[in-house]
Structure 1
Amino acid sequence: MSRKHRAIVMAAIGTIVVGVSPASAQTAEPISDGLVKIGVLNDQSGIYADMAGPGSTIAAQMAVEDFGGKVLGKPVEIVSGDHQNKPDVGSAVVNRWIDVEQVDTIVDLPTSSVMLAVQEIGRQKNRLIIASTGGSSDFTGKFCSPVGIHWTYDTYGLAVGTGQPLASRGPWFFLTADYAFGHALERDTAHAVTKAGGKVAGGVRHPQGNHDFSSFLLQAQSSGAKIIGIANSGADTVNAIKQAHEFGITASGLQLAGLYMHITDVHAIGLKQAQGLLMTQAFYWDLNDETRAWSKRFYERHKAMPTMGQAGVYSSIIHYLKAIEAAGTDEAQAVARKMKELPVNDFFAKSGKVREDGRMVHDLYVLEVKKPEESREPWDYLKLIRTIPGDEAFRPLSESECPLVSVGQ
């Protein structure tokens, strides 16, 4: 990676990664220190704790247990850390994990600014980074890495699933979280809307972890827009939607588009206020017998149904361990290559494929939040509207900015 490219990466993520030095070349060998250690890094107690947090750690533990607890005859261990949604904190945790605790791979990674910072550490120190809950499509775009894999969803897929179908219903106004994920989600959705013939009336950005959305919602109402694209996540999404109802925004005729939502968000909002919202998901617990069986096992431990990110953590770790077995080593680049060779077939994805840019391609689902009277049991919140085939759900390689992509795609 050139010095210029690295500077661009650091500017984009808005932080300086300290204590990082280029890793020396490693040769393929069996399990490096007699242990495969997987670090689950996410928000454990803040605004994204429900969609990732302790639930992602539980999903990771389930994956290791279901795999048998060992790979190539060596034990597999899960550790977890809280990045507090801060790139400097996340970077410090990961540097310690790699340099001191010999962690082999980092998974989950909500908050795209943290995800992109950790991507750079993984590139320099030759550690596999598997993002599940982090969303910026730049992870496998201009900031792609030979040891970076994006598993569950990204902002491009969300834009295709939710932005395109609503493009023609009127001008859009974006309510956007002011960090890497929100910027990417607004950009990708605005592109999808205009490409489909829609218009964007304007937008406003708010700080992460915001509590009062009244002034932003009033700006949206006065903009002449018909749709408010909520380009944030977690508690920010929950608060924005609740306040839009409290302030009469939805009663005035504006439609809300929750561009990035989880089933835990619907649970927090309630069906009365969330009904009718469209959601693009990589997973829903009630899709079929396989998703129901795994989700009920997860529920027994976590007392909440899994989000798509938590299900993705499980799926990605199973695939990672299979790749170690197939590669005969836990060396990051060898495992990454094998992850790209092996198909993904589990309850999470059928005929999934990790591309050369690191994007795991699989179907996405557009679901609608049910009316209260349609719900038959707890957590029965969504109904399937359509399935988006994987080759339509994610940015085609022909449009990729990833330098790993072969010329002529």
Structure 2
Amino acid sequence: MDKTVLAAILVAGVMAPAAAVAQEVSDGVVKIGILNDQSGVYADFGGKWSVEAAKMAVEDFGGKVLDKPIEIIDADHQNKPDIAVNIAREWYDTKQVDAIMELTTSSVALAVQGLSKEKGKIDIVTGAATTELTGKQCSPYGFHWAYDTHALAVGTGGALVKAGGDSWFFLTADYAFGYSLEQQTADFVKANGGKVLGEVRHPLATTDFSSFLLQAQSSGAKVIGLANAGLDTANAIKQASEFGIVQGGQKLAALLFTLAEVHGLGAEAAQGLNLTEGWYWDQNDKNREFGKRFMERTGRMPNMIQAGTYSAVLQYLKAVKAAGTDETKAVAKQLHEMPVHDLFAKNGHVQANGRMVYDMYLFQVKKPDEMKGKWDYYNEVATVPGKDAFLSVKDSGCDVSAFGK
């Protein structure tokens, strides 16, 4: 055979895999959608700040993966599952979105995960809390990243029961997230010898908590568990102060409260609150460096939702690179197998049901005179090991054996 022809064949053989890889990025771009609440009660919880975190992840990754550009698009789902599903469907069907992330509000996250499973697309939830995402409604392409109701129950609920808070009354948001958070915290309280004296449920975005708080106050419970989030929790705490509930000897347990809501409420009103988060900007040098960059872009420090979104986007891009394609099954396989080690999760791993397991932290909000700066809100009280914070696959209710069907 002619040496020139042989050389050409050998070069073609070497080049073929690279060409194949290049063709494995659908539509020539890797496109990620950030879908969350940008105008309602959870606008500070995640909101446009999560979009900025996602963009930071893309920039830190280098702006390209497999030599193709990475694009972030976003939309406001207004905390309405029907709106969220319509947006997600349009993204998948006409805008070639490869993965949807953040998904604040459990009812929204469950609905979009259901659609993503149907469409064979990846979703990574950082903003919603219900364990159903990796439980009975799990998906082979669905991942739950930042926290969930079980981790919050173990963290905040566990601390208060151990401190003598053995009787509870729940003030609960009237949708999937609130029910799940109430149930799991109540189960934890009972398992540790405590009692649940009652509960009352309120609509999302309530402004007047007076009747609900009066019921909680009259129950005589040592702890009033606020199984809600965002402005709902902040408003409940403000109005509880007006009723003198804490002064009367009852404790408030903010079961989902992040740095964003603490800042909105202010240290004077929030001081002494116990809360659980998976990340805090002042824990170490890497977190402080990220917090500084985030502050320069947004004028605020990130909470665990925003830092978690950064981590989720970064890990997804690492998985695409490792898979050599943005094809869903190949990327999902990498996401399940790859360790998670970044500024958000130290030695994290993903279970077969899609739950990312890593250590959570119990914090207490400082008194105003303890603060050394504007965003210096937390004292770290305890570490909640990932194996304790999150349900195992066996206990989650997810039938992972069905993933191969």
TM band (smaller chain): over 0.9
The answer for the alignment partner of 2:393 in structure 1 is: 397
Is 1:131 paired with 2:125?
A: yes
> How far apart, CA to CA, are the structure 2 residues paired with 1:29 and 1:274?
53
Is 1:380 paired with 2:376?
A: yes
Shift of 1:334: 1.2
Shift of 1:155: 0.3
- Equivalent pair of 2:352/2:393 in contact (CA under 8 Å): no
Q: Cα–Cα, structure 1 residues 234 and 405, in superposed 2: closer, same or farther, change >3 Å?
A: farther
Match of 2:139, SS state, is coil
Alignment of 1:8-157 (within 5 A): 30-157=24-151
Shift of 1:397: 2.4
> How far apart, CA to CA, are the structure 1 residues paired with 2:136 and 2:206?
29
- Equivalent pair of 1:147/1:332 in contact (CA under 8 Å): yes
- 1:243 aligned partner, one-letter code: Q
Residue 263 of structure 1 is aligned with which of 247, 253, 259?
Answer: 259
Deviations 1:172-215 (A, max 9, x none): 00000001111110011111111111110000000000000000
In terms of fraction of residues, the more helix-rich structure is 2
- Equivalent pair of 2:116/2:123 in contact (CA under 8 Å): yes
> How far apart, CA to CA, are the structure 2 residues paired with 1:120 and 1:29?
29
- 1:115 aligned partner, one-letter code: A
> How far apart, CA to CA, are the structure 1 residues paired with 2:25 and 2:291?
31
> How far apart, CA to CA, are the structure 2 residues paired with 1:357 and 1:29?
30
Shift of 1:33: 1.0
Is 1:179 paired with 2:178?
A: no
Match of 2:159, SS state, is coil
The answer for the alignment partner of 1:280 in structure 2 is: 276
Shift of 1:169: 1.5
Residue 237 of structure 2 is aligned with which of 233, 241, 257?
Answer: 241
Deviations 1:237-277 (A, max 9, x none): 10000110012111111100000001011111111121111
- 1:141 aligned partner, one-letter code: G
The answer for the alignment partner of 1:22 in structure 2 is: none
Match of 2:229, SS state, is coil
Q: TM-score, normalised by structure 2?
A: 0.92
- 1:307 aligned partner, one-letter code: N
Match of 2:400, SS state, is coil
- Equivalent pair of 1:397/1:405 in contact (CA under 8 Å): no
The answer for the alignment partner of 1:313 in structure 2 is: 309
Match of 2:257, SS state, is coil
Match of 2:143, SS state, is strand
> How far apart, CA to CA, are the structure 2 residues paired with 1:379 and 1:356?
37
Rg larger for: 2
Shift of 1:405: 5.9
Structure 1 regions of 5+ residues with no counterpart?
1-27
Matched length = 380
- 1:103 aligned partner, one-letter code: V
Match of 1:330, SS state, is coil
> How far apart, CA to CA, are the structure 2 residues paired with 1:131 and 1:379?
26
Segments ≥4 residues shifted beyond 2 Å: none
Match of 1:57, SS state, is helix
- Equivalent pair of 2:166/2:189 in contact (CA under 8 Å): no
Shift of 1:29: 6.7
> How far apart, CA to CA, are the structure 2 residues paired with 1:149 and 1:347?
19
- Equivalent pair of 1:150/1:360 in contact (CA under 8 Å): yes
Deviations 1:34-66 (A, max 9, x none): 111100000011110101111000000000011
Shift of 1:170: 3.2
- Equivalent pair of 1:217/1:244 in contact (CA under 8 Å): yes
Shift of 1:379: 0.5
> How far apart, CA to CA, are the structure 2 residues paired with 1:92 and 1:162?
36
> How far apart, CA to CA, are the structure 2 residues paired with 1:220 and 1:170?
15
Shift of 1:83: 0.3
CA root-mean-square deviation: 1.3
Residue 253 of structure 1 is aligned with which of 244, 249, 256?
Answer: 249
Is 1:227 paired with 2:223?
A: yes
Match of 1:366, SS state, is strand
The answer for the alignment partner of 2:6 in structure 1 is: none
> How far apart, CA to CA, are the structure 2 residues paired with 1:331 and 1:205?
43
Percentage of identical aligned residues? 55
Q: Cα–Cα, structure 1 residues 225 and 57, in superposed 2: closer, same or farther, change >3 Å?
A: same
Q: TM-score, normalised by structure 1?
A: 0.91
Shift of 1:226: 1.1
> How far apart, CA to CA, are the structure 1 residues paired with 2:167 and 2:189?
9
